[in-house]
């Protein structure tokens, strides 16, 4: 009996089959692509466009509301040298 652990996790196995893991394939890449959070995305886009990104944002809510996606977009926008109309590079 072998006690070896398979070298591929379910995520990498799925990535190999379809080319990309679903949560990476369909995650929004711009504030305009976020659905159902118009007020939040407009506020964040305006803060990026004006160059006044706060040192912290508190994202709360039930799972599936886009907290991680918005956090990733904020980080992407904060690291962008020249954002266009508040959208991340």
* Beta carbons within 10 angstroms of residue 53's beta carbon: 13
Profile the chain (89 residues) by mean pLDDT over runs of 10 residues.
54 58 89 92 93 93 92 93 87
Domains of the chain by start residue, with CATH: 21-78 (3.40.50.300)
pLDDT for residue 86: 87
88 touches 76 (CB < 8 A)? yes
- A 10 A CB-CB count for 40 gives 17
């Amino acid at each position: 009996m072998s006690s070896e652990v398979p070298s591929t996790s379910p995520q990498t196995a799925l990535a190999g089959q379809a080319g990309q893991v679903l949560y990476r394939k369909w995650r929004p890449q711009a504030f305009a692509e976020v659905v159902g959070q118009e007020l939040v995305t407009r506020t964040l886009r305006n803060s990026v466009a004006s160059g006044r990104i706060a040192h912290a944002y508190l994202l709360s809510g039930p799972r599936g509301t886009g907290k991680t996606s918005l956090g990733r977009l904020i980080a992407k926008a904060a690291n962008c040298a020249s954002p266009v109309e508040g959208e991340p590079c």
